[in-house]
Amino acid sequence: MFDVLTTGAVVEELRRTILDGRIQRLGMVDALTIGAEIYAQGKRWHLIASANAENPRVHLVSSMPSSDPNLITPFSQLMRKYVRGGFITDIAQPPLERIITLSIAKRMGPAGEELPDDEEDADDIWSGSNVTKLDLVIEIMGRHSNLILVDADGLVRESAKRVTPSMSRVRPVLPKRVYELPPPPDKPDPRQVTSVTMEQLLLNSKPTETLDKVLVRGFRSMSPQTAREVVFRVAGDARATVSQIEPESATELARVLRSLYQPMLTGTWDPKVYERDDLPIGYGALPMAHLAVDAEEVDAPSISRAIEMAQAASGVETPRDHAQRRAQLVQNIDRALQSVGTRLHSLKQQHERSLDVERLRRWGDAIYAYLWQIQPGDTELVVETEAGEERIPLDPAKDPKEVAAEYFEDYRKSQKAGEQLPERIATATAELQYLEQLKWMAGEAEGFAAIEAIRQEFVEQGSIGTRPRWESGKQNKGHQASKKQANRKVSPLTDDDGNLYYIGKSGRENEQVTFEIAHADDWWLHARGVPGSHVILRTRVPGDDPEKHLVERAAGLAGWYSQARDGGNVEVDVTQRRHVRKIRGAGPGMVTYRNERTILVPAANEKTLGLE
């Protein structure tokens, strides 16, 4: 829970570790995330700061996060010019805000150019001229999170996300505009709450409402976790309602609330991680008694380490290299696969039960036919049918006609649901197949750009069927740079005779080579029955019957870029592009095709085939 208390603990830790340090390395992990190496107190520290709406954060990490040197944005360019090589002169948190400001000073050349790296220290910087001062403002505010460079005049130089007046009339964030803090809500300050304020809040709340929600709504910068902790410490139940709190408890509620915010003044933080079955389920900048009820409380050496441990357990560990980034992506896709597989199994079970729907109608008819035979208190009706004896359950507390009516109603509902199940099963099956293909492609991806393209597709596509999706399908403006990378046009391989071979290495690329690049007369190839790449063969001399060795060469590529690569010879389907169709409602690159022929070829890569 990256709330105000966590922010305060992070600020205190950063002041102890990296204040007066020099930012030696700086890189963009993605369009909304920076990683930095800072030399301070005789050692190297590594910092990550992200405005990603799904996981906004700022904290120290155990090693330098991997960055993408090809990711160039106006924000990244100014960061490299004015922040890399600078000294951190101050670290601050505006009162009760999830905002951290790093004040940075850097000596520039006479014309504002960067000076070469040297051995200057924090004291030397003030002895020279042309010192540039600015603030890196890190806003950790959910979907409103941002990274903003603010100059000495209080003007925005650039930001990871530009916020136009049409997006926010209250607080646009654009270059050359004055930077302003978010307007504070008109709510009491929890650090100064009195028993009178608390008593009035209770009186104005509904008795059935849970007290934690009342506190979140009633006080400024109150997180749900902090509110639950206050309620638990006073009432012994984190979900206690207003009616369960005695009026005289207002004084104790106010005292506990003030005590939780006290470390923001004293800096006496005590970070904890809470584990269940050896896996972290949460963390806090202070002990959280309501979490310790059914989890083991573990001391964390720092708030940054507590955040890292919690994130690693949820599959969002800070990426440090391409192998780890790839493994993390595969793990997230696999989690989505399990979810879809469970849903598909449930749908199939429902469909099996719906096939027996006629039984419900038959039971209703039988009860009416044998009303004269049913006695008060009977628990079942036994009738003879052509298939033998059938026992129909009855409810002794209900009139038999009422039981029959319920069977007829269940029959109508099951019949209606059964009509929709085949389509839902088909949708879930297509979704499962798409995720299996995406998982395989993620496991094969090499380099930042390829891994990021598949990650971006995974985030954008989400679950092909119904919500909720595994990640928000909505993308903010700050992702545009990475989208451009992910949507680069696939370049062909060319043989000595000028024939072209296009290979899709993600769902988006499969769709691109098949439906945007390929002509109707080009040849389309795919390994039969397994996840893999779409391969397009465009011969130098178009014709209905390309030479056998060209088709086998393209088929070898299709076999290599498929899940069947390690099985020796691979079955590959070949057809003309005109016979390939998208599957409606399925993920990118999911197709159906006809008029194919299947050939058996050894899998071979570009090097083996002489296409490098």
- Each residue's pLDDT tens digit, 259-299: 999 999 899 999 999 988 777 888 999 999 999 998 899 99
Contact 12, 269 (CB under 8 A): yes
DSSP 8-state class, residue 161: S
What pLDDT is stored for residue 459 in this prediction? Answer: 81
- How far lies 322's CA from each of 67, 152, 257, in Å? 10, 37, 44
Q: Taking the domain 190-313, which CATH number applies?
A: 1.10.8
pLDDT < 70 regions, the chain = 110-129, 312-324, 353-356, 417-419, 448, 462-488, 543-544, 612
Strand partners, 610: none
Contact 551, 523 (CB under 8 A): yes
Contact 259, 277 (CB under 8 A): no
Residue limits of CATH 2.30.310.10 in the chain: 4-159
- Amino acid code (one letter) for 9: A
DSSP 8-state class, residue 398: S
C-alpha span between 496 and 499 (Å, rounded): 8
Look at the pTM and tell me if it is higher than 0.75: no
Longest dimension (CA), the chain: 107
Q: Is 151 exposed, middle or buried (0-12, 13-18, 19+ CB in 10 A)?
A: middle
What token pair was written down for 498? 């000028």
Q: CATH fold of 325-444, please? A: Helix Hairpins (1.10.287)
- How far lies 247's CA from each of 47, 191, 198, 255, 378, in Å? 46, 21, 10, 14, 54
Other Cβ atoms closer than 10 A to 445: 22
Give the E-state strand segments of 353-447 in sequence order. Answer: 380-385, 388-393
What token pair was written down for 210? 């849970």
**CA angle at residue 31 from 330 to 112, to 5 degrees?**
145
Q: What is the DSSP string of 269-322?
A: ---EEEEETTEEEEEESS--HHHHTSSEEEE-SSHHHHHHHHHHHTT-PPP-SH
Residue limits of CATH 1.10.8 in the chain: 190-313
H or E stretch covering 39:
strand 33-40
- At how many degrees (to 10) do helices 400-444 and 322-354 cross? 160
What phi and psi values does residue 466 have, to the nearest 5 degrees?
-105, 160
C-alpha span between 185 and 116 (Å, rounded): 46
Closest of 265, 203, 582 to residue 430, by C-alpha: 582
What pLDDT is stored for residue 408 in this prediction? Answer: 87
CA torsion through residues 166, 167, 169, 172, sign: negative
Contact 280, 310 (CB under 8 A): yes
Antiparallel, parallel or unpaired: β 33-40 and 43-50: antiparallel
Q: Is 370 exposed, middle or buried (0-12, 13-18, 19+ CB in 10 A)?
A: middle
C-alpha span between 145 and 283 (Å, rounded): 21
- Amino acid code (one letter) for 483: K
Q: Order of strands across the sheet with 146-151? A: 57-61, 43-50, 33-40, 22-30, 87-92, 99-107, 131-139, 146-151, 156-159
**Residue entry with tokens 């369009």:** 31
- Domain 4-159 CATH class label: mainly beta
Residue 582: partners with Cβ closer than 8 Å, 6 or more residues away = 511, 515, 590, 591
Contact 493, 538 (CB under 8 A): no
H or E stretch covering 195:
helix 195-203
Closest of 578, 590, 452, 437 to residue 520, by C-alpha: 578
Percent of the chain with pLDDT over 70: 88
H or E stretch covering 495:
none
Closest of 438, 441, 456, 445 to residue 336, by C-alpha: 438
Antiparallel, parallel or unpaired: β 580-582 and 523-527: unpaired
What token pair was written down for 59? 């904290």
What phi and psi values does residue 33 have, to the nearest 5 degrees?
-135, 130
- How far lies 385's CA from each of 157, 283, 361, 371, in Å? 84, 63, 14, 17
- 3-class DSSP state of 35: strand
- Amino acid code (one letter) for 298: V
C-alpha span between 399 and 376 (Å, rounded): 8
Residue limits of CATH 1.10.287 in the chain: 325-444
- How far lies 148's CA from each of 139, 182, 299, 381, in Å? 8, 13, 33, 75
